[in-house]
Chains A and B, each alone.
Chain A
Amino acid sequence: MAASESMTRSAEGEAARSRAAEFLLRRHYFRWPEALPWLIAIACFFVFPDRMTFGSQLLIMIMFALSLDLILGYAGIVTLGHAAFFGLGAYTVALASMKLGWTEPISGVFFGGAVAGLVGIVVGWFILRYRGLTLLMLTIAFAAMLQEGGNIRSDFTGGYDGLPGLTFDPLLGRFQYDLYGHTNYWYTLAALAVVFFVVRRIVYSPFGQALTGIRENVRRMHAIGSPVHRRLVTVYAISATIAGMAGALFTQTNAYVTLTVFDFDASAKVMVMLILGGTGRLYGAFLGAAVYMIFEDKLSKMSPTFWQFGIGLMLVLAVMFANRGLLGLGDKIRARLARWRAP
């Protein structure tokens, strides 16, 4: 009796273990719904051909939010200064085009990303030893210093009036930037796709697992000998690179850039987008940025005041009732439906 019981129990344990192993083995597989955002993005080109400039802006914000998800959602680094790296990328491309005559767009994006990434390594090495308020203040102060520094040298950066009228070569030497932003839309979409697959690889790699470990329990990661600081600096640099690439695309899309890219508001905005969509799940950046930008586009034209009140209310409600964002809310509803259907 006792023996058979223990046998069924061990069989159950075996089954549970193999289910868990199965899950771990398969969780990085592509699933069909993952094609959905890309199909929608392609469909948008045909449905809204005259809104492609807005479309490009949206794709750029998705890339920016994705870079934040990597450090905030996976590694748990709370920052309110991520616009620093977006701005670095944006200004790198702008100044390279103006002062160096580096007008080739694709290499420009990589150049912008590289500069932001290198700065990310240096800054991250200094600030990622700290947590909580200290870290938050250091990230804010760093972005603000870049902005003020840019303003001091406004002869060089154009200050708050910006650097207008930047020119870039045709894409691949063939596709001219057109008035409707069609070329630019495909260009940005391709860039986002490349970045996304890199990020997806990272979060499902052992390195990504270590980041989640750091987020969940930093002491335990220290205890098992994980090089926490090095891992954090690495992911911070990767995230900075992606943010810089997003900034570079931003400059190329608009053909101008001003110091407002470093605003505290810009850092807060990208965080709101990510929170709205859901952190630590990649597609949160897509959904959050899309919902935010579309509502902003519609509502802020009608009344910026109501729009601002709306964001505030949304944040309060999100923290109170849906702390995993819209995608988390979707999960909750699905779980509730499943329980309701089950006998």
Chain B
Amino acid sequence: MSHAANIVISILFDGLAYAMFLFITSVGLSVTMGLMNFVNLAHGAFAMVGGYIVVSLTRSLGIDFVPALVISAVLVGIISIPFERFLYRRLYKATDLEQVLLTIGLAFMAIATFTYFYGPIPKSVPLPHWLEGDVNLGFRTFPSYRAFLIVVGAVLVTILWYAFERTNIGARIRAAVDNRRMAESVGINVDRLFTLTFAVGSGLAALGGGFAIQLFGLTPYFAVLYLVLFLIVVATGGLGSLKGTLLAALVIGIIDTGGKYMFPQAGNFFVYLVTVVVLLIKPAGFYGRE
């Protein structure tokens, strides 16, 4: 195979893995923001907490990486419920500014708490054998960890798509995103629906945080460092749209990977450029409602 084709495949593969990470972490944020129009800057903090739970489970309790991911996602989902019930709920009707301040305050507190207990140095986790090294797909080899992430992402996309488009709860969520008042007046309990999606979204964020440990190295600052990227995915995808979030994650993931490969100096420049261009043309994102 030619050198150029090899590079393109590498970029697409790494970009896809990155996109799956972005999708898993951001999808909950997109749906909750679509439902309640709530600007949640603490979403990255839930992902960070999820990552640290995985660290503790694998290193202190000796649980394997994959079950630890699942346990951490469930735990964070449960932990997020009281936050929604007692803090967020009071501010659904408040201004953007108050929501921004409350949630960024929570993110700062989370960063400080985890710095206190875990220190500021990046953590790593022991991986099972089958996730280390490469996997051979016949024509070439790929790193198995990223391949696993892509598989998990694809499975989650399918499950979420099915839940969103083919189940009763999914129909109710779509109805509430489209027109909250109308949905309430036909008897949908939007509050409870929101608690549910918030918990699931936070759990998925925790799963993303778990995957991030080996991708980027986990520090407490993860909570705000990647937050801007999650928000970019949500804003360019369109609030509350599964399709949009997936498309935005793919675009951002692949452009960022390609841009960094070809112009290592540029950092995240291309991501921000794409964001600005997309939002200026389609202010509500790819699939958002104007």
Nearest chain B CB to A23's CB is how many angstroms away? Answer: 26
Name B239-273 residues within 8 Å CB distance of A: 239, 263, 265-269, 272-273
Return B116 CB to nearest CB of chain A, in Å: 5
B279 near A137: Cβ-Cβ < 8 Å: yes
Whether A315 contacts B102 in the complex (CB less than 8 A), given A126-B280, A151-B267, comes out as yes
What 7 new A-B contacts, CB under 8 Å, besides A133-B96, A142-B276, A148-B266?
A134-B235, A138-B275, A144-B272, A308-B111, A309-B109, A315-B105, A316-B87
CB-CB under 8 A from B266, the residues of chain A are: 148, 152
B109, B111, B273, B276: the one contacting A138 at CB < 8 Å is B276
Contact A134 B98 (CB under 8 A): no
Is the beta-carbon distance between A145 and B239 smaller than 8 angstroms? no
Q: Which of A133, A140, A268 contacts B104 (CB 8 A)?
A: A268
Tally of chain A residues near chain B (CB < 8 A): 43
A132 on interface, CB distance cutoff 8 Å: yes
Q: Which of B105, B239, B269, B279 contacts A314 (CB 8 A)?
A: B105
Which residues does B use to contact A, with CB under 8 Å?
33, 37, 39, 87, 90-91, 94, 96-98, 100-102, 104-113, 115-116, 224, 228, 231-232, 234-235, 239, 263, 265-269, 272-273, 275-276, 279-280, 283-284
Question: Which residues of chain A are near B101, meaning CB under 8 Å?
Answer: 271-272, 275, 315, 318-319
Which one of B112, B115, B275 contacts A141 once the chains associate, using CB atoms below 8 Å? Answer: B275
In angstroms, Cα B227 to Cα A133, docked, is: 13
Q: Say which residue of A134, A140, A306 sits within 8 Å of B112 (CB atoms).
A: A306
Within 8 A of B (CB), among A85-144: 126-127, 129-130, 132-134, 136-138, 140-142, 144
Q: Is the CB of A145 within 8 A of B96?
A: no
- A–B complex contacts, Cβ < 8 Å, 8 sampled: A132-B96, A133-B239, A142-B276, A308-B108, A308-B111, A309-B112, A312-B104, A318-B105
Q: Is the CB of B105 within 8 A of A144?
A: no
**Chain B residues within 8 Å of A148, by CB:** 266-269, 272
Contact (Cβ within 8 A) A313 B109 = yes
| Contact (Cβ within 8 A) A144 B235 | no
Provide the bound-state CA to CA distance between A57 and B147, in Å.
50
Contact A151 B279 (CB under 8 A): no
Give bound CA distance, A136 to B235, whole Å. 10
A306 surroundings in chain B (CB, below 8 A): 112
**Bound state CA distance, A97 and B113, in angstroms?**
43
Q: Which chain B residues border A49 with CB–CB below 8 Å?
A: none
Residues of B within 8 A of A136 (CB): 39, 96, 100, 231
Q: Which residue of A lies closest to B117 (CB)?
A: A305
Select one of A78, A138, A316 contacting B279, CB under 8 A: A138
Complex CA gap A271/B280 in Å reads: 25
| Pick from A129, A134, A142, A149: contact of B269, CB under 8 Å | A149
Contact surface of A with B, Cβ cutoff 8 Å: 72, 78, 80, 126-127, 129-130, 132-134, 136-138, 140-142, 144-145, 148-149, 151-152, 154, 264-265, 268, 271-272, 275, 305-306, 308-309, 311-316, 318-320, 323
Is B102 in contact with A316, judged by CB distance below 8 angstroms?
yes
Given A305-B116, A308-B111, does the pair A316, B106 have CB atoms closer than 8 Å? yes
Return the contact of B235 from the options A80, A133, A315 (Cβ within 8 A).
Answer: A133
A152 & B269 in contact (Cβ 8 Å cutoff): yes
Q: Report B-chain residues with C-beta under 8 Å of the C-beta of A80.
A: 100
> In the complex, are the beta carbons of A312 and B279 less than 8 A apart?
no
In the A-B complex, the 6 residue pairs with the smallest Cβ-Cβ separation, listed nearest first, are A315-B105, A312-B108, A312-B109, A309-B112, A148-B269, A308-B112
Task: Assess the B96–A264 pair: CB atoms within 8 A.
Answer: no
**CB-nearest residue of chain B relative to A137?**
B235
| Bound CA span A130–B91, Å | 22
- Determine the chain B residues whose CB is within 8 A of the CB of A272 once the complex forms: 101
A265–B39 Cα gap in the complex (Å)? 18
Q: How far is the CA of A323 from the CA of B91 in the complex (A)?
A: 12
Which chain B residue shows the least CB distance to A144? B272
Give, as a whole number of angstroms, the nearest-CB distance from A327 to chain B.
16
Instruction: Give the complex CA separation of A129 and B290 in angstroms.
Output: 13
CB atoms of B232 and A141 under 8 A apart: yes
A134 touches B284 (CB 8 A): yes
Give the docked Cα–Cα distance between A319 and B283 (Å). 28
**B96 adjacent to A78 (CB under 8 Å):** yes
Tell me, in angstroms, the Cα distance from A306 to B108 when the chains sit together: 10
CB-based contact A313/B105 at 8 Å? yes
Bound form: Cα–Cα A209–B176 in Å: 38
Query: Are A144 and B115 interface neighbours, CB within 8 A?
Result: no
Residue of B nearest to A72 (CB): B97
Q: Report the minimum CB–CB distance from B85 to chain A (whole Å).
A: 15
B109: contacting residue among A78, A152, A154, A316, CB under 8 A: A316
Cβ of B274 to closest chain A Cβ, rounded Å:
9
Q: Give the docked Cα–Cα distance between A136 and B239 (Å).
A: 14
The residue in B98, B100, B113 that gathers the most chain A C-beta atoms within 10 A of its C-beta is: B100
Q: Which residue from B108, B267, B273, B284 sits with its C-beta under 8 Å from A315?
A: B108
The reply to whether B269 and A319 contact each other, CB–CB distance below 8 Å, is no
